[in-house]
Chains A and B, each alone.
Chain A
Amino acid sequence: MSNIIDLSLNELVDKVKSKKISSKEITSAYVERSKKSNKLNTYIEQTFDNALKNSEKFDKSPNLEKKLPGIPFAVKDLFCTKGVRTTASSKILEKFIPTYESTITQNLWDAGAILLGKLNCDEFAMGSSNETSYFGNVTSPIADNLVPGGSSGGSASALAAKLTPATIGTDTGGSIRQPASFTGTVGLKPTYGSCSRYGIVAFASSLDQAGPMTRNVKDCSLLLEVISSFDPKDSTSVNFKRPNYYSELNKNIKGKKIGIPKEYRVDGMPTEIDELWEKGKEFLKDCGAEIVDISLPHTNYALPTYYIVAPAEASSNLARYDGVKYGFRAEGENLIDMYEKTRSQGFGEEVKRRIMIGTYVLSSGYYDAYYLKAQKVRKLIKNDFDEVFKKVDAILTPSTPSSAFKLGEKSNDPVSMYLNDIFTVPVNLAGLPGISIPAGLDKNNYPLGLQIIGKPFNEQNILNIAYSMEEKINFKLNINDWWIK
């Protein structure tokens, strides 16, 4: 039998179901490997002993009807896990132990999965390189000087390094798709309202969505099927008939119309990405799809819009961290002084910067000029998509304007860091589903991704398109285990 850690999620599930392999064997393999991964700094909390105990428990009376029978999972440390420390990679939550479970992780455990540990990310998911974490930056398994992307950087790094068979991230402006693209993995941001936000540490509530990060498209469809559910506890959760994404996955995309937006060809983009995009179009044509040139005229305005809307919502959401009810407290001379010192010492620089931006755009005299203006431009951006989706079934774009960059390369220039999300942010603003799949390598052998954007609640369609392209692309991620000590 091939090495356990080389099997993909759906292969592991099949092997457990056919009793060829036990949960204990799988869990032990991932625990052993994860224990050697300190150089990558992916884990904030390791629950290995419990995971092994739970796998033994599973094996004693295995329920093989489950969708993820006894499969170990490490997840982003933004999901509240009952009784297991949840930090959002922030000092302010360093000792926070939730008294409840997020719906997404509950769905995982209900499907038979077992928690391996909590994965590093940018602080409160604010960042594109996983360099803003209080617990230190995450390194990409691809090279020792490379960022894994962010904010779900720990998830992407752990997935690519095979420390977990698959994982869950969150995506507010690209935080699943950009790190997936940087690490040669698959990442899907579902339609807003598809996956419950209950129990996820909130960043920007009108944009946040959780989603699967996997080694291939088939795994992605399986995991989406498990985590997507209607949840009365999330007032924006949408009650629609969810397909069986996994069993309905197919490669029949004949006659599908795929839009190519001209505005996504940006200045200074490496020619390799342009070539990859061209190749993507050819693959789609080979599969019988039809390529249609389209225009999304307000694309350029998406990022500045996002950097008003997201910080505004963040400044409100993060107002709860006051040093009173939970989390870090700095002592002060009086109540106000305690608040100010707690928040000044408890939050990192990027989080404080965004709270300040958000506070400014919502403050008296500036609300109309910034926040209301951004909401109006957001409407124009959404209208662009509504208009083109009358003509096409999906849209193909690059996932990012560059491959992974070096640690420290962009951390002193906020705007240049923000520009990373230029192709992913419009999708969040319009609430659409988007998937990034690995599509090739650049001259340094760093992975590059392509993004497929779909109509609201049409995840099945973009999964099918991704599944068809994946076969043609035949991407292989060959990384050596330099990080194992």
Chain B
Amino acid sequence: MAIDLKTVKHISKLARISVNDEKARKLEKDLNSIFKWIEQLNELNTDKVEPLTSIAETTLRLREDKILSENIRDEILNNSPKDNKDYFVVPKVVE
């Protein structure tokens, strides 16, 4: 199935990556060549095959619900692109 420009724009919306028309056309070309190559998987009949979701093949361990890092707010906020010393700051969300 071919991926058209409309689909590229839709995916970019879902992925929260803005693309201009020129970029979208380049992506359309790239994605089509990649998916054409991926289509060879359809040669295989996998109706009776169980999907492999994890190599570990065991249920993941649960860990104790314990606080390991405390009072690191300032350390964490040091990496934020915008903050007011107490919180992360983002563009206004609620009108």
Residues of A at the B interface (CB closer than 8 Å) are 95-97, 99-100, 192-193, 206, 232, 235-236, 238, 298, 300-301, 304-305, 307-308, 315, 319, 322-329, 332-341, 343-344, 347, 352-353, 355-357, 359-360, 363, 370, 372-380, 382, 414-415, 430-431
Check B51 against A379 for contact (C-beta < 8 Å). Answer: yes
User: B80 at interface (Cβ–Cβ under 8 A)?
Assistant: yes
CA distance A373 to B52 in the complex (A): 10
| Chain B, range 64-92, C-beta contacts under 8 Å to A | 69, 72, 75-76, 78-82, 88, 90-92
CA distance A353 to B28 in the complex (A): 10
* A373-B41 contact in complex given A343-B17, A431-B55, C-beta closer than 8 Å: yes
Tell me the minimal C-beta distance from A240 to chain B in angstroms: 12
Check B11 against A360 for contact (C-beta < 8 Å). Answer: yes
Name the residue in A329, A338, A356 with the highest tally of chain B Cβ atoms < 10 Å from its Cβ.
Answer: A356
Check B41 against A377 for contact (C-beta < 8 Å). Answer: yes
Check A363 against B14 for contact (C-beta < 8 Å). Answer: yes
Check B88 against A324 for contact (C-beta < 8 Å). Answer: yes
* A359-B18 contact in complex given A304-B38, A376-B49, A379-B52, C-beta closer than 8 Å: no
User: B63 at interface (Cβ–Cβ under 8 A)?
Assistant: yes
Can you name the residue of chain B whose Cβ is closest to the Cβ of A305? B41
| Chain B, range 1-25, C-beta contacts under 8 Å to A | 3, 7-8, 11-12, 14-19
CA distance A300 to B14 in the complex (A): 31
Can you name the residue of chain B whose Cβ is closest to the Cβ of A339? B16
Check A327 against B81 for contact (C-beta < 8 Å). Answer: yes
Size range of the chain B interface in the assembly: 35 or more
Tell me the minimal C-beta distance from B68 to chain A in angstroms: 9
Can you name the residue of chain B whose Cβ is closest to the Cβ of A358? B15
Check B3 against A308 for contact (C-beta < 8 Å). Answer: no
Tell me the minimal C-beta distance from A103 to chain B in angstroms: 14
Chain B residues whose CB sits within 8 angstroms of the CB of A352 once the complex forms: 17, 27
Q: Per DSSP, are chain A's interface residues mostly helix, strand or loop, or mixed?
A: helix
CA distance A352 to B30 in the complex (A): 12
Can you name the residue of chain B whose Cβ is closest to the Cβ of A311? B34
CA distance A338 to B92 in the complex (A): 11
Partner of A322, one of B8, B16, B40: B16
**15 A-B pairs in the complex with CB atoms less than 8 angstroms apart:** A97-B79, A99-B76, A206-B54, A235-B63, A304-B41, A324-B80, A324-B90, A325-B76, A325-B80, A353-B31, A356-B12, A357-B31, A360-B7, A377-B44, A415-B37
* A326-B79 contact in complex given A304-B41, A373-B46, A380-B49, C-beta closer than 8 Å: yes
* A307-B52 contact in complex given A236-B60, A324-B90, C-beta closer than 8 Å: no
Chain B residues whose CB sits within 8 angstroms of the CB of A192 once the complex forms: 55-56
Name the residue in B7, B17, B19, B54 with the highest tally of chain A Cβ atoms < 10 Å from its Cβ.
Answer: B17
Check B49 against A97 for contact (C-beta < 8 Å). Answer: no
CA distance A36 to B30 in the complex (A): 39
Can you name the residue of chain B whose Cβ is closest to the Cβ of A359? B15
Name the residue in B18, B54, B76 with the highest tally of chain A Cβ atoms < 10 Å from its Cβ.
Answer: B18
Check B60 against A235 for contact (C-beta < 8 Å). Answer: yes
Partner of A376, one of B31, B40, B51, B82: B51
* A325-B50 contact in complex given A99-B72, A340-B16, A352-B17, C-beta closer than 8 Å: no
Check B54 against A236 for contact (C-beta < 8 Å). Answer: yes
Check B91 against A332 for contact (C-beta < 8 Å). Answer: yes
Can you name the residue of chain A whose Cβ is closest to the Cβ of B36? A415
